[in-house]
Structure 1
Amino acid sequence: MSTAELPARSRAPWWFNLAGQLLEPWLRLRRDPAEPATLLKAGLPVCYVVERDGFSDALILERACREAGLPSPMQPLQGTRRRRSMFALVRRDGWLFGRNRHRAPTETLSQLVRTLEADPERDIQIVPVSIYVGRAPNRESGWFSVLFSENWVMVGRFRRLLALLLNGRDTVVHFSTPVSLRSVMTEAGDIQQPERFARKIARVLRTHFRRIRAAVIGPDLSHRRTVVDSVLNAEPVRDAIAATAARENISPAKAWRKAHDMAMEVAADYSHPVVRSVSFLLSNFWNKLYDGIAMHHFDKVRAAAPGHEVVYVPCHRSHADYLLLSYQLHQAGVVVPHIAAGVNLNLPVIGPVLRRGGAFFLRRSFKGNALYSVVFNEYLAQLIDRGVPIEYFIEGGRSRTGRLLAPRAGMLVMTVRAFLRAPRRPVLFQPVYIGYEKLMEGKSYVGELSGKTKEKESLIGLLRGLKVLRQRYGHVALNFGEPIELNPLLDAASPDWRAASADPDAKPEWLNGVVDNLAEQIQVNINRAADVNPINLLALALLATPKHAMAESDLLAQLELMKALLEELPYSDRMTLTPMDPAGIIAYGEQMGWISRVRHPLGDVLTTDGEQAVLLSYFRNNVLHLQATAAWVACCFLNNRRMTRASVLRLGRIIYPFIRGELFLPWDTEGFGQQVQATIDFFVRRGLLEASGEGRVLERGPGQDDAAYQLRVIARSLIQAFERYYITIAALVKNGPHVLTPAELENACTLTAQRLALLDELSAPEFFDKALFRGFIQKLRESRIIWTDGNGKLDYDAALEVMVRDARVILAREVRHSILKITPGGDSDKEAGEKEAAPAVTEPPVAAPVPDDASAEDLHRRHVDAEHHAHEHETVRPVDTEAQRDQEPRA
């Protein structure tokens, strides 16, 4: 609508214009949308409706309409007796400090309805306008600006004046799509009582304003006591209180007080002023701590979130995780989620601030406390029912190794059951990958993995830890992964899942399967959104060398190769990769203090010392999954010059379920095979492998060749996983069936790995992480390769012997013998399970002619036969001699 088409403006009272001129220097308006005139229908009278009555709102609206070329709200409404073209849903009584209010009478809407009834040709368009003063004060804002920003409370005129003076330059005027009053009346049919119809329209408008306000500043949680009252009045909690009173032989009042104390311990006390105050503090804090915080794919989150209950499920690597995510969401104009935090963080001073920032606290275990379990479940259900966004870490704690931990499904189960109880708003799980270049907790993680006791959180410990703030920690990336909707998972598990909502205590048999699938998919999608920073790439390269050192020319070539691999075969469309070139990556690593340069006449050497190397393993593990396929292919050529493509694929399919379970890889077995094929083709294009026999036979160069060296560096990033697998199998086979329990096997593996790390100077504390051994043992049990007998002891299938045999393809003989020598159990150091096993594939001693029409399997059999012949007659050098030569220092 052009300005010429607008009706003539009437002149506002002189005192109104004077007030507008006085306020104008303090106001800076942002319209949403920027051109609201495009929303209006030409030729129809316009009546604006605002949420709350206020002189300042009228001034702001009049100015916004003037700047946008809209009809003035101060002119008479055409065709009616109204002197103004605006009204408010809620009026306020009192003057300076008055805060008594009542809802505006519906006379205005009733008058409009009667006007249209009297003239069937007339129509009026109602335009809802939301006005927010100081929603998000910027970094330069002062403390008072933060405290007087917009919230759910209808404040008095004096407080509103202060808000305008302090935050008026950050005022948002949101114009909603106009509503034709005539159309609403037509849909309603015959209107017998205009007043009743007007009340109905007023309710619809109030609901509309609440939704807009919730989207802008978050849902109205009122006071913590309000939520706690709702929890205590819920039927499941009342039943649990009665059961507790009867079981513990106490009065119902005392049982109620116990439940009340538990609810108060759990519940957040969300405060918009506190959130804005903390945001103000963190702006300066992050600038001093980090060189930058980047968010990727957030636009996709913003597009998918409306209409959903959003549950943020990030990886957990630092105490800074929840602060970073909440801060970035707030800065992006999105509601800050309520965060599930361990009760150990409910410290003096810190706890109340976290609670007012949206943290709700939970105990580490609910076992043996039925009342607490019911109270916490009901509180979570109340949050979901109210549409409050939530955040929690399904790993249960911070990762000490840099890998994703096996998920703990407790919070997921409670979330799903809360949704089943009241499936009004679909639930959307939003995975988030958080990538660092340096961690504040790095040294403490290494100490804990090395056996030191984890320090309990305390205020004194926090104050002592403030010294880490003197350092710089580089850049941080928050990558938002592919969201996961709950409804499709429920539909796939049980088409009639909605029937489960009839009984809040029901636990359908399909529930555990849905939760397990959901947990795995969350971890997979977190890994798919990985950010590859310069430190990740340096760690992958340098930690793959025996002394954690590389000639600068070799490091440049290795970094270029790894970047090319990720660019040509991207892990997913959500993965991000540093734009730095190899030379820039090295310079950045030196600047961050991760690597150092040793000058030498024959060429500089880049190295990292022992302690730094251990810390770097964390950042290698962050992105290890991205190189898993390439590392597998390269591992096949550590001890073998030549293999068939079919053998690489066959062995890969055997080992893949275990790699997938450890690294949360996204493909099924067939998809992994396709990735292996694509990776082999990449290596062939790059000259790291040579293909012959129509691509069926693959061969690498000799040990000192540049291509073989690059393959070896890639392979060593995954070789420790295979060594851990072999330790587990060797310990089980060496002790024999029906000897070890799963816990005893896990302990034996951990001790073996610790000793091997001491002997071989491995710089990866996660090598002897119990959780990784536990996960592999569990995968063996799920695959029915091992199982427990009636006495809880482990027995195993013949497939375990096959895995021992296949390990000879990957692991050098010296490594296998070292593992078997120090593995506890048994009376002999003879290599378990290998006495009857022939090597799977090696380089044939004689290059026998191969028919043109030979299949890949025929070719593989020829190689195996040649290998048998070589070992029986000892006419060729053992394969491990080649491996030993490959490990010699590179000039």
Structure 2
Amino acid sequence: MLNMSTAESSARSRAPWWFNLAGQLLEPWVRIRRDPAEPATLLQPGAPVCYVIERDGFSDALILERACREAGLPSPMQPLSGTRRKRSVFALARRDGWLFGRNRKRTPNEPLGQLVRSLEGDPERDIQIVPVSIYVGRAPNRESGWFSVLFSENWVMVGRFRRMLAMLLNGRDTVVHFSAPVSLRTVLNEAGDIRPERFARKIARVLRTHFRRIRAAVIGPDLSHRRTMVDAVLNAEPVRDAIAATAAKENISHAKAWRKAQGLVMEIAADYSHPVVRSVSFLLSNFWNKLYDGIAMHHFDKARAAAPGHEVVYVPCHRSHADYLLLSYQLHQAGVVVPHIAAGVNLNLPGIGPILRRGGAFFLRRSFKGNALYSVVFNEYLAQLIDRGVPIEYFIEGGRSRTGRLLAPRAGMLAMTVRAFLRAPRRPVLFQPVYIGYEKLMEGKSYAGELSGKPKEKESLIGLLRGLKVLRQRYGHVALNFGEPIELNPLLDAASADWRAATTDPDAKPEWLGRVVDDLADKIQININRAADVNPINLIALALLATPKHAMAENDLLAQIELMKALLEELPYSDRMTLTPMDPASVIAYGEQMGWIRRVRHPLGDVLVTEGEQAVLLSYFRNNVLHLTATAAWVACCFLNNRRMSRASVLRLGKIIYPFIQGELFLPWDADGFCAQLQATIDFFVRRGLLESNGEGRLLERGPGQDDAAYQLKVIARSLIQAFERYYITIAALVKNGPHTLTAAELENACTLTAQRLALLNELSAPEFFDKALFRGFIQKLRESRIVWTDEAGKLDYDTALEVMVRDARVILAREVRHSILKITPGGDGEKEAPAPAPEADHLPADVSSEALHERHVRAEHEAHAHHTAAAESKDSETPGP
């Protein structure tokens, strides 16, 4: 080892005066940490030292010279003894230009060739090559400014101007990593008779691999697909075949078709940048603080524990443009790799698209139809992501929900993910559902407008700038709840014992694949709903929107919120559901503070009300959690127009209606499980005094209409009653028009028009009541159940079970509602309703004994298509008439 003063004077005497001057000017801005702290112990005594650095750069040379001087190592600026080289250092990559010049890689074969030739003719001579990695601003801490993070170390070989800024901003966080020296003589002897030129290329490849490994360990893996994946996609066999097919089909040259494919990859591919992600995280910290009062993550530890060893695919619900920013931000803050997000190409706006791309967004078109090359290229890009274990995020709903409910899944991305895994099943795939709950939405008004018929406003930079006014508002709290993860392998095992055989043919489409994808989509939506967060606004919406004028006396609202909280606490929907800890009074106060409700002072007691547009917007937050109260709402619905019903009838009718509620709300139970939930809910209502149980629990009765318990049941029931009204509109329209009359599209349109008119006549504040997608989903469920089917002419025919459903509807829907729907619904010859249903214990006089009631119920179950008893009409005015 050289003496420190000797090494310092030797280095400075051999370096040009301007180099020494630049080193002195740079010294105050740079603080070097050597790794290892004493690299001189790595060197072999006696052999000349030649340093190799990853990238050429003036600042890197200054840092290396200073690090060697401080460590007592030979200077990189001195000539390399025994060779013609004037310096004892060379770089693997060099750049052209000065300030903003573009990068250009040049092979290091020339200096390596010189070193190899210098050893020829002298078998005792050796040169030790020391790889040195230099990182400026490796990982600024969170207290650093975001500008510093922007210029931190990454995988891109930046120009001199950016490197200078990095030195000024992050120079005090500089790491110089010295690797163990490589004996050039030893490697040359092991290579045998290999030619010097080929030997130099081999050494260069080894050094590049070494530097990449060190850089990945220090700053994380290289996730920039523009460098590491574009070539892989274009060189994949399916893409090469698609390029050849495109050239032949379009009668263009192969080179032109290749450039076309390259353009598609560049349109799709993310350009992930660590500095940009860290910079955006700094910016978002201030943004969220101005926008939200807090962001909470629940069950994240469970998600983190399940992830190792898996390819993780995040599948959150989609309710706002803020969804993907929030999830990525929270994952980054938690120290988890930010996923690559599938974003619609409509978001690739000038100025915004490049930032999203560097944050991990990859873009896809809304439709792949008519573009076979695009489809192959996108599938291959997704397959490369999965094969490399890059975490992914996409929304299987296909777009943002305008109603607050989960949308029917669009399984395209899921199908591509499953097929990519089947092609190379090296790492098991784990789907991670995420529920995102808001207390106010930035897009709320536009959603209400779109549901009312206004066209969706196309995304644009001007629209984005106009939308910045939303930043002047506060949007409450946000919750990110991580649901139960779903592993792909068990689903494949259940579908086919030999599914691994499908991996041998990348183009194979086994018949069970569609079933697996559909089951997977349903499980994801179910697990998102199971992880729901119930916030104060959800509770207020469930209560207030169930009243005709969206107003409640304060005491009634307090009691209703307390009841809903007790229901969710005693009968939790799942172990991943979360519920606000606020008491009812605090919930109301918070709703006033957020501007959702208004207090009207009155001597007999204050009234809380939500009005006009606020009521419409509030329906979104009721729909977020509607599934949590589905069983309670069904039981309550049975007593909207009936004082008494048998428990068996509640369960029987529940089983009939359940497939349709399940399809709309993505409920987790099978039919028997739903009945078990109904039983538990009935017992809860009995404990709370909302229902009275007679006849050894076989018969149920509610209080009179003016009773508080009846009022609470009515509020619960009305959260779901609009779904049954939609069902009745659909089946009534079909029955009224008759079989072989309407196509599915015509029925959907007729139902939508009927619902719109009914909403106008009744001043409904729920625009999802006439949402086409909900009618389409119900019609599809009828077809899946073979209650409705399409004839040879494309018209709908139906089973007699549909007419039975019309008759059963009178148990739930009031007579005036049914008649209004029949009057408005187009088609048919009038307003005649279907015959009355079979007599049941649902409609019974008040003076009948419980034994007689049970006897009548048993008899009623075996009598079909009879009329209601006259006693039911005369004794209980609340029972619906014929």
TM-score, normalised by the number of residues in structure 1: 0.80
Give the superposition deviation at 1:837: 3.0
C-alpha change, 1:91 and 1:768, in structure 2 (3 Å) is closer
In the other structure, the counterpart of 2:419 is 417
1:148 to 134, 147, 151: 151
In the other structure, the counterpart of 2:428 is 426
In the other structure, the counterpart of 1:276 is 278
In the other structure, the counterpart of 1:721 is 723
In the other structure, the counterpart of 2:451 is 449
In the other structure, the counterpart of 2:547 is 545
C-alpha change, 1:173 and 1:739, in structure 2 (3 Å) is farther
8 A contact 1:404–1:523 mirrored in 2: yes
In terms of mean alpha carbon deviation, does 687-696 or 508-517 score higher?
A: 687-696
In the other structure, the counterpart of 1:100 is 91
Quick check: 1:362 aligned with 2:364?
A: yes
Give the superposition deviation at 1:56: 3.9
1:337 to 336, 339, 342: 339
C-alpha change, 1:557 and 1:13, in structure 2 (3 Å) is farther
8 A contact 2:33–2:175 mirrored in 1: no
2:396 is paired with a residue whose SS is coil
Cα offsets for 1:675-712 (capped at 9, x unmatched): 11111111111111111222111111111111111111
In structure 1, distance between residues paired with 2:847 and 2:214: 76
In structure 2, distance between residues paired with 1:585 and 1:855: 47
2:630 to 628, 631, 634: 628
In the other structure, the counterpart of 1:117 is none
C-alpha change, 1:350 and 1:818, in structure 2 (3 Å) is same
Give the superposition deviation at 1:357: 1.3
In structure 2, distance between residues paired with 1:801 and 1:743: 21
In the other structure, the counterpart of 1:879 is 878
Letter aligned with residue 483 of structure 1: P
Letter aligned with residue 844 of structure 1: L
In the other structure, the counterpart of 1:685 is 687
2:60 is paired with a residue whose SS is coil
Any gaps of 5 or more consecutive residues in structure 2? 8-25, 62-89, 94-107, 109-132, 178-187, 192-204
2:705 is paired with a residue whose SS is coil
- Give the 5 Å matches for 1:553-572: 553-572=555-574
In the other structure, the counterpart of 1:187 is none
1:702 is paired with a residue whose SS is coil
Give the superposition deviation at 1:141: 2.4
In structure 2, distance between residues paired with 1:205 and 1:667: 58
Letter aligned with residue 360 of structure 1: F
In the other structure, the counterpart of 1:528 is 530
Identity %: 81
In the other structure, the counterpart of 1:200 is none
Quick check: 1:707 aligned with 2:698?
A: no
C-alpha change, 1:216 and 1:447, in structure 2 (3 Å) is farther
2:342 is paired with a residue whose SS is strand
Give the superposition deviation at 1:151: 3.0
In structure 2, distance between residues paired with 1:97 and 1:26: 14
Give the superposition deviation at 1:91: 7.4
In structure 1, distance between residues paired with 2:404 and 2:564: 20
8 A contact 1:841–1:867 mirrored in 2: no
In the other structure, the counterpart of 1:114 is none
- Give the 5 Å matches for 1:81-92: none
C-alpha change, 1:328 and 1:856, in structure 2 (3 Å) is farther
In the other structure, the counterpart of 1:847 is 847
8 A contact 1:727–1:819 mirrored in 2: yes
Give the superposition deviation at 1:851: 4.1
C-alpha change, 1:137 and 1:688, in structure 2 (3 Å) is same
Give the superposition deviation at 1:100: 2.1
In structure 1, distance between residues paired with 2:584 and 2:236: 60
In the other structure, the counterpart of 1:889 is none
8 A contact 2:535–2:579 mirrored in 1: yes
Give the superposition deviation at 1:461: 1.2
2:667 to 616, 640, 665: 665
In structure 2, distance between residues paired with 1:250 and 1:366: 21
C-alpha change, 1:473 and 1:433, in structure 2 (3 Å) is same
2:59 is paired with a residue whose SS is coil
In the other structure, the counterpart of 1:398 is 400
8 A contact 2:292–2:475 mirrored in 1: yes
- Give the 5 Å matches for 1:57-96: 57-58=33-34, 96=59
C-alpha change, 1:539 and 1:13, in structure 2 (3 Å) is farther
Give the superposition deviation at 1:879: 3.5
8 A contact 2:317–2:435 mirrored in 1: yes
In structure 1, distance between residues paired with 2:45 and 2:475: 62
Cα offsets for 1:481-500 (capped at 9, x unmatched): 11111111111111211111
In structure 2, distance between residues paired with 1:660 and 1:785: 17
8 A contact 2:544–2:609 mirrored in 1: yes
8 A contact 2:837–2:866 mirrored in 1: no
Give the superposition deviation at 1:648: 0.9
8 A contact 1:806–1:840 mirrored in 2: no
In structure 1, distance between residues paired with 2:562 and 2:52: 64
In terms of mean alpha carbon deviation, does 628-637 or 156-165 score higher?
A: 156-165
In the other structure, the counterpart of 1:249 is 251
Letter aligned with residue 613 of structure 1: A
In structure 2, distance between residues paired with 1:392 and 1:386: 17
In the other structure, the counterpart of 1:65 is none
C-alpha change, 1:852 and 1:875, in structure 2 (3 Å) is closer
2:399 is paired with a residue whose SS is coil
Give the superposition deviation at 1:594: 0.3
Letter aligned with residue 139 of structure 2: R
In structure 1, distance between residues paired with 2:877 and 2:140: 70
Letter aligned with residue 615 of structure 2: A
- Give the 5 Å matches for 1:17-32: none
C-alpha change, 1:842 and 1:257, in structure 2 (3 Å) is same
1:468 to 467, 470, 476: 470
Cα offsets for 1:65-121 (capped at 9, x unmatched): xxxxxxxx67969xx9899xxxx9987887733482599xxxxxxxxxxxxxxxxxx
8 A contact 1:845–1:866 mirrored in 2: no
Letter aligned with residue 875 of structure 2: V
In structure 2, distance between residues paired with 1:491 and 1:132: 49
2:619 to 605, 617, 627: 617
In structure 2, distance between residues paired with 1:161 and 1:543: 61
Letter aligned with residue 677 of structure 1: Q
In structure 1, distance between residues paired with 2:317 and 2:175: 34
8 A contact 2:522–2:666 mirrored in 1: yes
In structure 2, distance between residues paired with 1:399 and 1:622: 10
Quick check: 1:694 aligned with 2:731?
A: no
8 A contact 1:433–1:527 mirrored in 2: yes
In terms of mean alpha carbon deviation, does 381-390 or 538-547 score higher?
A: 381-390
C-alpha change, 1:164 and 1:786, in structure 2 (3 Å) is same
Letter aligned with residue 249 of structure 1: N
In structure 2, distance between residues paired with 1:131 and 1:573: 46
In terms of mean alpha carbon deviation, does 369-378 or 244-253 score higher?
A: 244-253
In structure 2, distance between residues paired with 1:694 and 1:15: 102
In the other structure, the counterpart of 2:769 is 767
8 A contact 1:644–1:860 mirrored in 2: no
C-alpha change, 1:173 and 1:247, in structure 2 (3 Å) is same
In structure 2, distance between residues paired with 1:847 and 1:863: 23
- Give the 5 Å matches for 1:767-846: 767-831=769-833, 833=834, 835-838=835-838, 840-845=840-845
Give the superposition deviation at 1:305: 1.2
Give the superposition deviation at 1:814: 0.6
C-alpha change, 1:581 and 1:24, in structure 2 (3 Å) is farther
2:404 is paired with a residue whose SS is coil
C-alpha change, 1:159 and 1:761, in structure 2 (3 Å) is closer
Cα offsets for 1:329-380 (capped at 9, x unmatched): 1111111111111111111111111111111111111111111111111111
Give the superposition deviation at 1:222: 3.8
C-alpha change, 1:413 and 1:232, in structure 2 (3 Å) is same
In structure 1, distance between residues paired with 2:708 and 2:858: 31
1:730 to 706, 715, 732: 732
Aligned residues: 778
In structure 1, distance between residues paired with 2:250 and 2:733: 49
Give the superposition deviation at 1:862: 11
Letter aligned with residue 649 of structure 2: S
